[in-house]
Structure 1
């Protein structure tokens, strides 16, 4: 055990998770690579949990942060803030939500917490619909709506939460149905649920479930849900903390795979937009955003320095078509991973879209999740010079792959080869 690890354990909560038997201290990064305190170099396929969205030490972002820090770092929302207004204008336009208003926070947890406050105040209801296998943050309210038991440490809650089918396509009671019948069954379940409840405020859903193992429903499910929700006056909150900004390749936002009936009422974002700076936020149409009847501010949300970083990061992403790169290189990476895992009895499924890919591991010959194998592959990948993540329903048996969106074809090939060797070594 390293000295830093010992010091960490002495002052940190026991529930604060660390990867690896011998945890890493990352000291610096460049592009798609990071280095540890021992000088080892790694290809980064996880980006600090999908947060280093474009690249490590991206010059445009570093320059924007340095220049803003030389002017003013902090002011709070009590004062006019030009970078915050400029960023809000860009996000309002990109969101697709009409007459949009934007509120900035410091994290995805806080963004979802704010969305829940807005929805419950607007609808005058503390009842929330959420998806099974979901994850929405670590605050008291977001833990209470998380449908993944491994990340929900208490059942105490200010909200009444009811869980809906549909977030996991290949497991559960509807797994054997066709996509069309799967959607029909999930809609029927939602209709039945709404027939037994009082005035739900909102349905909150990740278009692709992140912590849940990069699972997703067939395209169109949330559009079908929207028809039902609209009839009952229930809001739709799209949690885009992991799916926003083009990561899925096909779309800029995850909700656009379900766009038949237009954008969500509320959209939340965080992680990648700051490329490592603490940025989150909520977008909602004015009627919903303005429903609160008390004053509020944000001390740190929308700070000048995080907004400067976000503006530079967003400009780089759009100017270099990183959504298109996610589609092209991500598509290649998914096919390579399917190829190298095709003969492995431990791999149940390779799934995902763009640069958001999951490899689900099971005990050979069964459909039983194998978290021990996932942990072993994580270690073997690190030994081979590759950092990945893990997640999944009630056990962390899914390898999570989400590199920065500037990933090159050569790096995708290299990462796939390392993963193939790691799966072989761990098997």
Structure 2
């Protein structure tokens, strides 16, 4: 049955719309941290629909809120008052840390970042944007234009002039050998040098506190605070892309920017994914003077719909009342240490890194990562994959993950990685033998 659905998918959907696995699966339902496919097989979900199922699958509070609102009215648009929208905006504005904050709701992280770019370039009267190397901010025309990851940037055309700076990848590049303090100082010098090459006013720096698609990479704490000192001297805005890092996923902080908080909150903050727990919710928080800078009419037909706002309110309430940020810190820390212990005996694993329940396992090759993805599925575990080279396994379960489920997932991933190590060693041995034979022949 799944094979027939796959054939129909290929016949009618774009070739670039990626599907995981050699034999793609259809997920039909979920509960808690588990999902089931069309063949009835159960999986432990360590990817949450790309970090979107934030609290749990089929969370009763969210499904009840969605069903209740859908039974009253599905859609009104932003042309009418919506109590749920106002209440959710009030809570997000208070949580954001941005003074005199205003909130605009969209339907996705792409649209949220697109809106932030519109606001920043309008407010600063400039189309020049600073972005981080290895970054990803969405698939719209403007967000592709500021994406520093070639694997996710299908065109060089852009309405923006983008200047890329160092700093988001700690373990690779020309500054990798430096201490954290030296690394930060070198990246600040690079930023200042880049600004010296800019043509007049630069609108904003946009940065993910932890790069998502880029492979869960992060700079040393405080780097963006150091950047902020430079930005403030030039009047440049700071946009923190919290589409993947928001809502406590990193454990130690509610927002990713708070690891760089010495000079206060960002000017703009974008969010999406987890707040809707699967419903299409995104948005921008900004200081009033920035948010209100648009002089033309602007609305969002589907942003802030009654149903998605009801879902977001119920989901955020559950997250706060059950301290899921604290759970991400505790269980994520245990899971990270467990994975590091596993990786210690496997040369195919280059690094285990992460914060809270946002963990990256970098392997030696893209082929090894692809095999690990397949093997994890065979052992009943769903994970993601990322980085520019496709070498990083992305682990981001719902924030309600239990210690027992963390152990279960780690055990499944250990089996998958041991299989990958065996295959990788055999391949290296074969390559070595081939090289020896070639040398002998010559």
1:373 aligns with 2:365: no
Tell me the SS of whatever aligns to 1:157.
Answer: coil
1:413 aligns with 2:386: no
* Greater C-alpha radius of gyration: 2
Q: 1: CA distance between counterparts of 2:103 and 2:70?
A: 24
Tell me the SS of whatever aligns to 2:145.
Answer: helix
TM-superposed CA distance for 1:426, in Å, is: 2.0
CA deviation profile, 1:52-83 (whole Å, cap 9, x unmatched): 00000000000000111111110000000110
Partner of 2:114: 113
Q: 2: CA distance between counterparts of 1:143 and 1:113?
A: 10
Q: 2: CA distance between counterparts of 1:147 and 1:167?
A: 11
Tell me the SS of whatever aligns to 1:241.
Answer: coil
Tell me the SS of whatever aligns to 2:261.
Answer: helix
Aligned residues: 419
TM-score by length of 2: 0.94
CA deviation profile, 1:304-349 (whole Å, cap 9, x unmatched): 0000000000000000000000000000000000001111111110
Partner of 1:201: 203
TM-superposed CA distance for 1:277, in Å, is: 0.1
Q: 2: CA distance between counterparts of 1:256 and 1:139?
A: 27
Partner of 1:399: 393
Tell me the SS of whatever aligns to 1:145.
Answer: coil
Q: 1: CA distance between counterparts of 2:344 and 2:60?
A: 39
CA deviation profile, 1:137-192 (whole Å, cap 9, x unmatched): 00000001000000000000000001000000000000000000000000000011
Counterpart mapping for 1:30-49 below 5 A:
30-49=31-50
1:386 aligns with 2:387: no
CA deviation profile, 1:246-273 (whole Å, cap 9, x unmatched): 0000000000000000000000000000
Partner of 2:233: 231
Q: 2: CA distance between counterparts of 1:348 and 1:220?
A: 25
Tell me the SS of whatever aligns to 1:260.
Answer: coil
Partner of 1:80: 81
Q: 2: CA distance between counterparts of 1:290 and 1:212?
A: 32
Q: 2: CA distance between counterparts of 1:348 and 1:161?
A: 31
Q: 2: CA distance between counterparts of 1:423 and 1:200?
A: 45
Structure 1 gaps of 5+ residues are 363-369
CA deviation profile, 1:185-213 (whole Å, cap 9, x unmatched): 00000011111212110000000000000
TM-superposed CA distance for 1:131, in Å, is: 0.1
TM-score by length of 1: 0.98
1:350 aligns with 2:349: no
Mean Cα deviation higher: 406-415 or 190-199: 190-199
Partner of 1:426: 420
The list of structure 1 runs, each at least 4 consecutive aligned residues, that deviate by more than 6 angstroms after superposition, is none
Q: 2: CA distance between counterparts of 1:249 and 1:196?
A: 38
Q: 2: CA distance between counterparts of 1:284 and 1:378?
A: 38
Q: 1: CA distance between counterparts of 2:227 and 2:410?
A: 36
Q: 2: CA distance between counterparts of 1:12 and 1:341?
A: 38
Structure 2 gaps of 5+ residues are 422-442
Partner of 2:90: 89
TM-superposed CA distance for 1:425, in Å, is: 1.2
Q: 1: CA distance between counterparts of 2:108 and 2:403?
A: 31
Counterpart mapping for 1:245-284 below 5 A:
245-284=247-286
Partner of 2:331: 329
Partner of 1:367: none
